[in-house]
Structure 1
Amino acid sequence: MSPVSLSRSERIARLNDRARQAMGLACVAVATEGFRGLPEADQSRVRELVETYDVFTPDNDPYGERDFGTIYRDADGRWTTSYPAQGKPSEKVFWKLDAYDRALQFGSEDPANPAVTRRVLTIMLASEY
């Protein structure tokens, strides 16, 4: 399927996927103070899960743009993209993608057009949202 025949949402989703998978190259990547306060090994694991995130559903991705997700730490300290089966998570991390104009001053007029858009990926503790 050529990019021209893709829906606007699918073009945005593919650009968002590329941004996640090439953090810091295909987007500007930022992390909040709380997330940066986690041990380095935890930060690394969460970034890996953000890069490979693929659990999008109509509930967590209603517009089909793949621009938001949640990573959970279970009671055993493991990070996962699935809500822990036993008990509530000991920590939640959100990631989100926003589309800005090329100067990063305003929202993009056309997030489906990479020529006029820069993406910013933010990783944060859910408690900081």
Structure 2
Amino acid sequence: MENTQISNETDNHAAQISMIAALNDRLRQTYWGGKVMTTSGVSALPDEIQIQVFRAVSEFDTFTEENDPHGEHDFGKVEVAGHSFFWKIDYYDNRMECGSEDPTNPDVTTRVLTIMLTGEY
């Protein structure tokens, strides 16, 4: 009985991580399902470079144990026009006052994708 309970908890956790990753991928790939922020360093770059950065972030698919240890697809690094950028997705409650209690539930979670120069991290 105990092994079955552990197995069910593991399966449930894996399903939650999969849902979080899918919601994060949707935001990153379509810029829909949350808010998108850029740092002052990114905003100061020419529009053409910013467009390239947004494209690179949306096309990012190189998730590894090093950059995605929890499997949530919530962090990555891209190189554009000689600059290095990090992107990060955080999960807040809908009032943006604290972390979301359930990042698998888009009804109670506001996702925020932040794109920054690596030196701004």
TM-score (norm 1): 0.80
1:55 equivalent in alignment to 2:47: no
1:105 paired with 2:97, answer yes
Cα distance in 1 between the residues matched to 2:58 and 2:87: 10
| Larger Cα-atom Rg | 2
Residue 39 of structure 1, CA deviation: 1.2
- The offset of 1:91, in angstroms, is 2.1
Code of the aligned partner of 2:25: D
Gaps of 5+ in 1: 78-89
The ranges of structure 1 where at least 4 consecutive aligned residues each deviate by more than 4 angstroms after the TM superposition are none
TM-score, scaled relative to structure 2 = 0.85
Structure 2 unpaired stretches of 5+: 1-11
How much has 1:105 moved relative to structure 2?
Answer: 1.1
Q: Which residue of 1 aligns with 2:26?
A: 18
Superposed, 1:27-66 pairs within 5 Å as 27-66=34-73
**Per-residue CA shift, 1:44-85, capped at 9, x if unaligned?**
011011111100011110000000010114xxx3xxxxxxxx
The Cα shift of 1:22 comes to: 2.3
Give the Cα–Cα distance (whole angstroms) in 2 for the partners of residues 12 and 67 of structure 1: 9
Looking at structure 2, the residues matched to 22 and 111 of structure 1 have their Cα atoms a distance apart, in angstroms, of: 18
Does residue 122 in structure 1 map to residue 120 in structure 2? no
> How far does residue 103 in structure 1 lie from its aligned partner after superposition?
1.1
How far apart in 2 are the matches of 1:126 and 1:92? 6
In structure 2, C-alpha distance between the alignment counterparts of 1:106 and 1:71, rounded to whole Å? 28
Which structure features the higher share of helix residues? 2
Q: Could you tell me how far apart the structure 2 residues matched to 1:91 and 1:41 are?
A: 13
